[in-house]
Amino acid sequence: MRVFLAGASGVIGQRLVPRLVQAGHVVGGMTRSPNKTELLSHLGAEPILCDVFDREALIRAVGDFKPDVVLDELTDLPDDAARISERADLNARIRTEGTRNLIEAARRSGSPKIVAQSVAWQLPDGPDARAVAELERSVLAEGGVVLRYGQFYGPGTYNEQQPPKEPRVQIDRAAERTVEALGEPTSVVVITDTQEGQKSSPADLVKALHSAFGNHHARAVHSKGIILEGFFTPSKEAASLTKAVHLQDATSQVVVRFSDFTGIPDIADTNPLSHPRGMAIKFKLPNNASTDLVTHSFNGFPTATSDQFRELLLAIAASGPDAPKPTALDKFLETHPVARTFLTTQKPASVSYATLSYFGVNAFEFTNQEGKTCLIRYQIIPEAGEEFLSKEQLANAAPNYLQKEIVGRVAKGPLKFKMQVQIAREGDDPKNPSLAWPDNRRVVALGTITIDKLASNTVVEDKALAFIPNDLPAGIAPADPMIDFRSKAYPISVAERQ
């Protein structure tokens, strides 16, 4: 298709051009800044220098380009977010007069489809809210598509440091969804971080965890655990991948919680269901901030999506010892071979929590100081190597052998893990955590986690300790929708266990 993109040099426009070109579209990239035309050519668009308020020039520009779609991504926002309200009139004008002019130009050029930017949050009553309402009405009246975006976050947006409040959307994900939305029939399409097509809510998932494992007033899953402390020392290479503050040159304090799978707080470490083991790490950052990394000892997840994970949990819940065969779980595993592999090919029981590798499973995007990005998955490898119990040792192991072992081990000397990332190559899917990326991907060492003491492990400390997978500093962003979904589910469990 031929796509006339108004606002091509803006923060979303610049991300859209290469994605549209890659999807096979020819892009006319409109900008009113002469110094942005070269950038647009470089990104793959035919640059079109035109001001949306110059109605006649716009009609000519659209007429000459002969688009199949007019994609309106125009905003008039200041570089400094603090000045948004001062400039609200300009933004309202571009939404009303700008959109009117684009619609007129489209009508004169054979009425291509119009797809236009709007917002997914409620604006307070005023010129801006009226402008958005008018834009939406006029686009829908033309048979067009309204894109209601959450607040953008990620590199180049107002929210580089911290994801904003919901509704929000990571800027690259917003661009991807926009390319897909070009094919939608006339409608309002909401583009926010919620996983595409996701039916169940984070609260449904927490309920499903309870129905599978019982409600013990503890963590809904990975209930049995032990807390230790130490520090993280970044490698020299880490800063080449990300500007994240703890991955530059200074050492950070860490709190680490090792755990067993399931929501059963007294599960025996020897029970096959107690795998995968968990390793959750809280890195203390300057200014009382922190960032979390929550991993487990299997390189993958049983399902690609949170909805499927819920189905698996409900199937486990319905498949107790007295359930008639084939059980709901048998049936689920019949049609979900990846989940079967997850449940049947866990590693043997390790000698220690410290002799096991852990995997971040969900993909993140790293951005370095130069703005260069890459997709990564974390791996945490014990420096002493992996070590497992033999069948005989396992048969003789005590139900709490792992906690006893780690208490003794850390008393003798520090435990060390190498933290590293696997870097995705073309074709590695960041949004399907059930598929491990191949082993031959480039691996970069990020640094060393040294655990040198046991925490107090009081009830108070255990309750207060909570991890949020999307609590991230600038330089790291979620690349898998499951991360934001998890991050809404964890606080529900935290609240329930207080």
Residues that bind ligand HEM (CB under 6 A): 205-206, 209, 219-222, 225, 257, 259, 278, 280, 294-296, 301, 306, 309, 360-362, 433, 466-467, 482, 485-486, 489-490, 493-494, 497
Q: How far is the CB of 39 from ligand HEM (least distance, A)?
A: 38
Nearer to ligand HEM, 132 or 205 (CB): 205
Nearer to ligand HEM, 402 or 482 (CB): 482
Q: How far is the CB of 494 from ligand HEM (least distance, A)?
A: 5
Q: How many CA atoms lie within 13 A of 441 on its CB side?
A: 23
Q: How far is the CB of 382 from ligand HEM (least distance, A)?
A: 16
Q: How many CA atoms lie within 13 A of 152 on its CB side?
A: 23
Nearer to ligand HEM, 74 or 361 (CB): 361
Q: What are phi and psi of 296, to 5 degrees?
A: -140, 175
Report d(CA 392, CA 78) in Å as an integer. Answer: 68
Q: Are 10 and 76 in contact (CB under 8 A)?
A: no
Nearer to ligand HEM, 222 or 409 (CB): 222
Nearer to ligand HEM, 117 or 362 (CB): 362
Q: How many CA atoms lie within 13 A of 29 on its CB side?
A: 28
Report d(CA 55, CA 226) in Å as an integer. Answer: 67
Q: Express the helix, strand and coil content of the chain in percent, nearest 5 each.
A: 35, 25, 40
Q: How far is the CB of 331 from ligand HEM (least distance, A)?
A: 21
Nearer to ligand HEM, 255 or 397 (CB): 255
CA-nearest of 431, 434, 273 to 338 is 434
| Three-state DSSP state, 253 | strand
Q: How far is the CB of 189 from ligand HEM (least distance, A)?
A: 24
DSSP summary character for residue 123: P
Q: How far is the CB of 251 from ligand HEM (least distance, A)?
A: 23
Q: Are 329 and 318 in contact (CB under 8 A)?
A: yes
Long-range contacts from 180-183, C-beta under 8 angstroms, 24+ separation? 181/115, 181/145, 181/147, 182/1, 182/3, 182/25, 182/69, 182/71, 182/113, 182/115, 182/145
Residue 283 has which token pair? Answer: 């890195």
Q: Using CB atoms within 10 Å of the CB of residue 442, give its burial: 0 to 12 exposed, 13 to 18 middle, 19+ buried.
A: exposed
Q: Residue holding tokens 């929000």? A: 168
Rg (CA), the chain: 26
Nearer to ligand HEM, 16 or 228 (CB): 228
Report d(CA 50, CA 27) in Å as an integer. Answer: 15
Nearer to ligand HEM, 145 or 227 (CB): 227
Q: How many CA atoms lie within 13 A of 253 on its CB side?
A: 12
Q: How far is the CB of 388 from ligand HEM (least distance, A)?
A: 20
Q: How far is the CB of 367 from ligand HEM (least distance, A)?
A: 22
Q: How far is the CB of 242 from ligand HEM (least distance, A)?
A: 19
Nearer to ligand HEM, 306 or 352 (CB): 306
Nearer to ligand HEM, 134 or 311 (CB): 311
Helices marked H in 32-183 — which ranges? 37-43, 55-65, 88-93, 99-107, 127-141, 171-181
Q: How far is the CB of 434 from ligand HEM (least distance, A)?
A: 10
Residue 435 has which token pair? Answer: 């598929």
Q: How far is the CB of 322 from ligand HEM (least distance, A)?
A: 27
The residue with its CB nearest to ligand HEM is 278
| Three-state DSSP state, 228 | strand
Output the CA torsion sign for 67, 71, 76, 81.
negative
Q: What are the CA-CA distances from residue 494 to residues 219, 220, 463, 468, 482 (Å)?
A: 7, 9, 8, 10, 18
Helices marked H in 23-126 — which ranges? 37-43, 55-65, 88-93, 99-107
Q: How far is the CB of 309 from ligand HEM (least distance, A)?
A: 5
Residue 86 has which token pair? Answer: 């001062």
Nearer to ligand HEM, 184 or 386 (CB): 386
Question: ∠ at Cα 282 (281, 288), nearest 5°?
Answer: 170
Nearer to ligand HEM, 113 or 173 (CB): 173
